[in-house]
Structure 1
Amino acid sequence: MDNDMMENRGAFPVDQPIEALIRDHNTVRRLVEAYQQDHSREAKMQAAQQILTLLEMHSQLEEGVFYPAVRNIDPQMIGHFEQEHQKADDLVQALKNGSLDDQRSEQLLQQLIDMTMHHIQEEENDFFPKLQQANIDMTPIGLQMQAFEANLVHAQAQQSAQRGMRQ
């Protein structure tokens, strides 16, 4: 993830982890808009790469910490989200393993974008309000999410540094 994306994220709001997820959602929306509106091939490819990176990290954060911690609020809905994540994760991997610069990849990316926007809407309109109404202390979940995200960012930085050394 590039520095601009990290700076836009700001400090992790441990007492309001839903806000961190919404911030990610908003970043995805901005990147999708940039991808769809930019006509420069290079800028489109950069936005596409950032979309994939952010979705991969966001998905790991939700699957690894958030969903297990809030499953009891609506187990059926969390199961539905996990199924959506699996489909999205498969698309992300397919796109990362290929070239983003061909017709098939553009179709897969558009499919991923459509799925993601639908998923974001479901989380924000259906699940997050339920979670807020449950009135549970979100700080322990937020602390776990903060630590998990810090580890993801650290691992990604190490991978980037290793790729840089190999070139």
Structure 2
Amino acid sequence: MATRQTPDACTLLDADHRNVKKMFKEFEELTNSKAKSAVQKKRELADQICRELTVHAQIEEEIFYPALRSATKAGDLLDEAEVEHSTAKDLIAQIEQGDESDPKWDAKVIVLGEYIDHHVKEERGEIFVKARAARGLDLVAMRDELQARKDALMEEMAAATA
């Protein structure tokens, strides 16, 4: 059983949450600027946010949620989380395919940030609590599995865009 001091799967996933939150904050700070460099930086940030969230959702759906589903009675929470992922993926697709000159493009990124913030609060307050309380769920070993899958997916995405 993992202790609070031992980094586990929840710690890794929450580090992703904090990282993306910083990027959303930086994006919002740039929204009032009309400078060409700010527009370019917003696009780069939005693309990075979309990549990070896509990989994060995938490792949760492939590894974390199925393990939790079989170790706990958190099915309703996990169903809700997967629906939230689906909605976020729709917004991500609109952002990736969108044009930053569209007046609603910034709003889509900001709304995605708000949506993710809501999702993160539920994961931290409910799903991670159930995961850490579950018997027979090795969250430390799962952290390593999540990290390995995350690294592989990030490499695939980098190769696809190179």
Do both proteins adopt the same fold according to a TM-score greater than 0.5, normalized to the shorter chain?
A: yes
**What is the deviation of 1:92?**
0.6
Contact 1:69–1:141 (CA<8 Å) still a contact in 2? Answer: no
Give the match for residue 53 of structure 1: 51
Give the match for residue 13 of structure 2: 21
Contact 2:27–2:45 (CA<8 Å) still a contact in 1? Answer: yes
Trace 1:11-160 onto structure 2 (pairs within 5 A).
16-38=8-30, 39=33, 40-72=38-70, 73=72, 74-135=74-135, 136-160=137-161
Going from structure 1 to structure 2, the CA distance change for 1:23 and 1:15 (only over 3 Å counts) comes to: closer
**What is the deviation of 1:47?**
1.8
Report the Cα distance in structure 2 between the residues aligned to 1:138 and 1:58, rounded to whole angstroms.
16
Q: Which runs of 5+ in 1 are unaligned?
A: 1-13, 162-167
Aligned length: 148
Contact 1:95–1:108 (CA<8 Å) still a contact in 2? Answer: yes
Contact 1:65–1:148 (CA<8 Å) still a contact in 2? Answer: no
**What is the deviation of 1:52?**
1.2
Report the Cα distance in structure 1 between the residues aligned to 2:41 and 2:98, rounded to whole angstroms.
18
Q: Which runs of 5+ in 2 are unaligned?
A: 1-5
Report the Cα distance in structure 2 between the residues aligned to 1:59 and 1:36, rounded to whole angstroms.
22
**What is the deviation of 1:15?**
5.8
Q: Give 1:23's aligned amino acid.
A: A
**What is the deviation of 1:154?**
1.8
**What is the deviation of 1:112?**
1.3
Q: What do residues 72-126 of structure 1 show as CA deviations (whole Å, max 9, x unaligned)?
A: 3211100000000000011111211221332122222222111111001110112
Contact 1:91–1:112 (CA<8 Å) still a contact in 2? Answer: yes
SS at match of 2:104: helix
Report the Cα distance in structure 2 between the residues aligned to 1:154 and 1:29, rounded to whole angstroms.
22
What TM-score comes out, normalization by structure 1 length? 0.80
Q: Give 1:94's aligned amino acid.
A: Q
What TM-score comes out, normalization by structure 2 length? 0.82
Report the Cα distance in structure 1 between the residues aligned to 2:29 and 2:69, rounded to whole angstroms.
37
Structure 1: 4+ residue segments shifted above 3 A: none
% identity of equivalent residues: 27
Considering Cα pairs closer than 8 Å and 6+ residues apart, tell me whether 1 or 2 has the greater RCO.
2
